[in-house]
Structure 1
Amino acid sequence: MVSDFVRGVDRRRLLGWGGLGAAGVVAGASLAGAQPGYAEEGRRAGADPVPADARPGGAYDRYVAKLAADGRFSGVVLLSYRGRTVLSRSYGMADKERGVAHHEGVAFSLSSAGKPFGAVAVLQLVQEGKVRLSDPVGTHLTGLAKDVAEQVTVHHLLSGTSGLDVPDEDVRRIFRSRGEVHAYYEQRARQAKLVGVPGVPDTDHEEAEVTLSALIVEAVSGRSYWEYVQENVFARCGMTGSGFFTRPQWLTDAHIAHPYMKLADGSVVDAVRNLDKSSPDPSVAGKNPGRAFIDAPGDGGFATAPDLVRFAHALGDGTVLDRPWADVLTAAKTPHGPASFGAYGIPVSIVGGQWMYQRAGGNPGVGANWDIYPDTGWVGVILSNGDGVPLPEMIGQEMQAITGALADGGSGG
């Protein structure tokens, strides 16, 4: 059973820069007596490296089925081992109004789980010699405060150590075009102020970092961020079901899951069809993801579960980054907890004696998480389109099924 520590992770910390790692599901968790990865253990014992808990009918499969039966999960889960799907399950409806059920081909809003695409895009330009990680942001962008332009580097943006902050976002604004979205977030990024010390970890001011990173991609490549990532990440990975879809596409494309948001009176509405409604959840109060015409530069996007597995493999096989630069992406940069670290847009942790790369995201009616275990070849994906999904708990159960390690926040060692 996953510990109460995992269950207690609050939604605000889940959605922050560090994802579940910073929240403690993995990172702050003490994995006392951490076990070797299944690949190593299986070789020694001559056993099948696929643990029983991760197989169809195993503990994780039964756990997710129970959540769905209790009305606590609607979406898709997928476990892949060395490129082979071990478990794939779909529950609930992608679009209740049109009677579209979930399946592997349904694309879900990723929220913050899509931010690593931007980090990959920047590193592609670094790999090509067009950007240096040590470049101050003023090397590529104009219109910034002098101290921001001169003291904050590309490395600071990618590592979440910029010290930047922007004014509170107008979460009730309804956007009507791509241009309006871009202009709004570009203006906010150019108003960023230095409120901390560059180089010191601070996960509270992420928006300026991801937007400025996206603007650098645009300034150097001459393409919009959305076009660049579509061509240089999604297309190269074979992520044919993924993209930065607009609200009109969300409303008309049957393969995009609609977010079902719970209101203060307990009723549930399709957020994208009810732009006048807002979430009462204190961590996302006033928000409705459908109000965005398209996700802000550097953020979000939509993906299917198999596409996220393709992205995971592309990080390791040279498809999107040469291997040394893929290692730069995921190398531990800043400590977040006893066994977790910040990398470039991806929290990384040591779990059960092996590395785990992970990114979570959420919004009203949106929950997403993907985990990569590079040492053993496992990838886990959880995508949901309803409120009340116990995402931290699900990640803990997935982690236990794959690694055999039980998250436990007790000893802090």
Structure 2
Amino acid sequence: MDSDSVRGIDRRRLIKWGGAAAAGVVTAGGPLVSAGPGHADSASTGPSGGDRVPPDTLPGGAYDRYVANLAAEGRFSGVVLLSHRGRTVLSRSYGMADRERRIPNHEGTAFCLGSAGKPFHAVAILQLAQRGGLRLSDTVGEYLEGFAKEIAEQVTIHHLISGTSGLNTPDEDVRRVFRSREEVHEFCEQWARQSKPVAAPGTPTDHAGAEVAIPALIVEAVTGRTYWDYVEENIFKRCGMTGSAFYTRPQWLTDRHIAHPYMALADGREVDAVRNLDQSSPAPWVLGKNPGRAFIDAPGDGGFATAPDLVRFARALGDGTVLDRPWADVLTAAKTPHGPTSFGAYQIPVHIVGDQWVFQRAGANPGVGASWSIYPYTGWAGVILSNSDGAPLQEMGRRETQAITGASPGGGPGG
């Protein structure tokens, strides 16, 4: 390897999380103002054009036009946001957060995250690990009782948060309407203990319910607090995510800053899922489900966040606010191959796109779509939040990545 290549790699490491500022390049504060596409193209420094603002990301650019067309066709209701080193480059809001009360979506609207909230439990686990409260090599049985011996003694925390536990969990009771936080917690705790090994630990078993519920229970066992309270205090509050929380169904119904999920029915109608608990999705992948039936999201999953708050979370991962820098690298380091350029990390799928890493997490439920992306080499973050069925979340993620990197990714955001 020649010396220029070595210097390039060293610089990449310097700016991996913090962008040019970490490499000694000072950028002015305040809103990002571009002098136009030509000017933006000429301001290129660092790998992958770290200081470049691609024209496709700007207001009126290709990505903006694409999302506007989706909204005009009735295929997108929600918020998209592109941020470069913490400064908003593009922010657009479409549709209604609450059609009954005529409340529009806006940048401060909180959306249900679905699986896009799962990385919070991995961050919580790593916070405890960096403080010496647990080790990733510890087994389930060192913290929790009531699990089968082969789980308690062989499945480690690493297996769980890397999606390689080899476990299977029974299907959820999607038609049950929960009435309290305590009822949700009791159900999830019992549900987790019904997990069974279906393969040896170390075998990829992504999306197993146990890999969500058990780490949350371990967080509770170590801290003596509910998972919801721990994450709100140690992640949301620490990151400055003031519009984010594990809201309950009563709050979902009454709080004007929370988007209601509009779920498509078999007859083509869209209904407010939270106001129609007797209605269910006909979509095969969520057959019979209605996200409003949960009183609060299950421990280890979900939550609500605004688009700017997810940018704050992305920034906090990079600057040592929420995890010490080495532990942030542990979170996003590739663990298992999913494809030629795609890998599983700790509850965050990561991809090589062009000459850079992209960290992306998505989630979907009836009437719910969420995706957040981090481009660590260049300081970009992207957020897509939707509150109606029909949004092509994967394609939107591809278009976002293409606008930022200039490269077309092989896969969309990981769910």
TM-score bracket, shorter-length normalisation: 0.7 to 0.9
Return the TM-score normalized by structure 1.
0.88
| 8 Å CA contact retained: 2:49, 2:378 | no
Q: Post-superposition shift, 1:407? A: 3.3
Partner of residue 308, structure 1: 310
| 8 Å CA contact retained: 1:79, 1:85 | yes
Matched residues in 1 for 2:237 and 2:77: separation?
28
**Aligned counterpart in structure 1 of residue 350 of structure 2, from 330, 348, 351:** 348
Q: Post-superposition shift, 1:160? A: 0.4
**Aligned counterpart in structure 2 of residue 136 of structure 1, from 130, 139, 146:** 139
Higher relative contact order (CA 8 A, sep 6+): 1
Count, aligned residues? 371
What is the letter of the counterpart of residue 120 of structure 1? V
1:13-412 equivalences under 5 Å are 42-43=44-45, 49-205=52-208, 207-407=209-409
Question: What whole-Å deviation, never above 9, does each CA across 1:171-218 have from its counterpart, x for those lacking one?
Answer: 00000000000000100111211111101222252x111100000000
What is the letter of the counterpart of residue 262 of structure 1? A
Matched residues in 1 for 2:242 and 2:50: separation?
36
Q: Structure 2 vs 1, CA of residues 46 and 81 (structure 1 numbering), >3 Å: closer, same or farther? A: closer
The more displaced of 144-153 and 191-200 is 191-200
Structure 1 unaligned residues grouped into runs of 5+: 1-37
Question: What whole-Å deviation, never above 9, does each CA across 1:194-251 have from its counterpart, x for those lacking one?
Answer: 111101222252x111100000000000000000000000000000000000000000
| 8 Å CA contact retained: 2:43, 2:51 | no
Q: Post-superposition shift, 1:46? A: 9.1
Secondary structure of the equivalent of 2:44? helix
Higher-Rg structure is: 2
What is the letter of the counterpart of residue 197 of structure 1? A
| 8 Å CA contact retained: 1:340, 1:350 | yes
Runs of 4+ more than 4 Å apart: 38-41, 44-48
Q: Structure 2 vs 1, CA of residues 62 and 40 (structure 1 numbering), >3 Å: closer, same or farther? A: closer
Q: Post-superposition shift, 1:298? A: 0.1
Q: Structure 2 vs 1, CA of residues 333 and 408 (structure 1 numbering), >3 Å: closer, same or farther? A: closer
Question: What whole-Å deviation, never above 9, does each CA across 1:327-367 have from its counterpart, x for those lacking one?
Answer: 10011110010001111010111112101111000000000
Secondary structure of the equivalent of 1:98? coil
Matched residues in 1 for 2:62 and 2:42: separation?
22
Please tell me the root mean square deviation across aligned C-alpha atoms, in Å.
Answer: 1.7
Secondary structure of the equivalent of 1:226? helix
Matched residues, percent identical? 74
Matched residues in 1 for 2:227 and 2:126: separation?
14
Matched residues in 2 for 1:173 and 1:107: separation?
25
Q: Post-superposition shift, 1:169? A: 1.0
What is the letter of the counterpart of residue 229 of structure 2? E
Matched residues in 2 for 1:289 and 1:193: separation?
26
